Amino acid sequence: MEINEPTPLKTAGQEGGVPIPSIAHPKVITLNVGGRKFQTAIDTLRSESGLLAVNLSEGYTWEPQADGSYFLDADPDLFEHLLRFMRRPEVFPLLHTKADGYNYDMYNRLEAEAFYYQMDTLHKWLKAKTYLQAFKTEIGAPVIRNISFVSQYMPAVSMPEIEKDEKIHILACMRKVYLCPRQIAAHRGHADLCGQACHRRQAENAVMYEDEPYWQVMTMKKKVVYDEEVCRIGLGSSEATLDPDVEEREVN
């Protein structure tokens, strides 16, 4: 099957004495990108891609295939992101998931495609890796808890006192614990509970203490916040996201 590609293209005019007619392209055009069809307005392609603006101008000949589509030998998955940007050039692509983070391979290949199609605004944004500023991690003020048995918090994620998005630091400590002279268990660690009988037993003897191990559990709540200004032009910085499920919110 014969495939017509946009490069190299012939300029309308004369070739070997034979006039080459210019082609009037339709307002709505179908592109066959690597076997996958995309339909869009021709003005959308011309407005954001310097390469396609030239190839779809009346001064160049890019003959359609038998079905009326125009073939591009390119990766359709990458071109899908390019076309999204052409349609909404104020929105940059956010290729990020909670499970995998940034899709660096896709960003790298998309940068090369943006350069090839002469999409200067998108290429500049990708080359600067501005997308890395889209998510910011914020750490809250530390909260300290004293516990007698560290096993209470193992595993910590199963304990209702500690949330799953908290960072945990455990420190082994030692403290002095008051001992009742009458050896009353309820008075251990609570000298204020001892009455006259305890004081008489104490008499001139030194107050007794014993060392007791304990643990300090320090937790700091971590949250990841999405900054839509990074990915959208006109929201204060220069940029928001192509992912419709991503809103301005905390990311758990």
For 151-185, the pLDDT digits (tens) are 444 444 344 455 556 778 888 889 999 999 999 99
* Statement to judge: residues 91 and 199 lie in one domain: no
Tell whether 64 is covered by a domain: yes
- Residue 204, domain extent: 143-223
CATH number at residue 31: 3.30.710.10
* Statement to judge: residues 29 and 117 lie in one domain: yes
Q: Residue 252 — pLDDT band, cuts 50, 70, 90?
A: very low
For 104-148, the pLDDT digits (tens) are 999 999 999 999 999 999 999 999 999 999 988 888 888 887 776
* Statement to judge: residues 24 and 128 lie in one domain: yes
Tell whether 2 is covered by a domain: no
Instruction: Say yes or no to pLDDT of 246 above 50.
Output: no
* Statement to judge: residues 34 and 119 lie in one domain: yes
Instruction: Say yes or no to pLDDT of 48 above 70.
Output: yes
For 56-96, the pLDDT digits (tens) are 988 888 889 999 999 999 999 999 999 999 999 999 999 99
* Statement to judge: residues 185 and 216 lie in one domain: yes
- The pLDDT value recorded for residue 158 is 40
* Statement to judge: residues 119 and 46 lie in one domain: yes
First to last CA, the chain: 52
Alpha-carbon span 8 to 190, nearest angstrom: 91
Total number of domains constituting the chain: 2
- The pLDDT value recorded for residue 220 is 83
Tell whether 3 is covered by a domain: no
Q: Residue 195 — pLDDT band, cuts 50, 70, 90?
A: very high
* Statement to judge: residues 199 and 95 lie in one domain: no
**pLDDT, greater one: 52 or 151:** 52
Q: Check residue 17 and give left, alpha or beta (phi > 0: left; psi -120 to 50: alpha).
A: left
- pTM beyond 0.75, yes or no: no
* Statement to judge: residues 125 and 99 lie in one domain: yes
Instruction: Say yes or no to pLDDT of 6 above 70.
Output: no
* Statement to judge: residues 91 and 18 lie in one domain: yes
- The pLDDT value recorded for residue 234 is 65
* Statement to judge: residues 102 and 180 lie in one domain: no
Tell whether 172 is covered by a domain: yes
* Statement to judge: residues 80 and 153 lie in one domain: no
* Statement to judge: residues 51 and 32 lie in one domain: yes
Percent of the chain residues topping a pLDDT of 70: 76
Mean pLDDT of the chain: 80
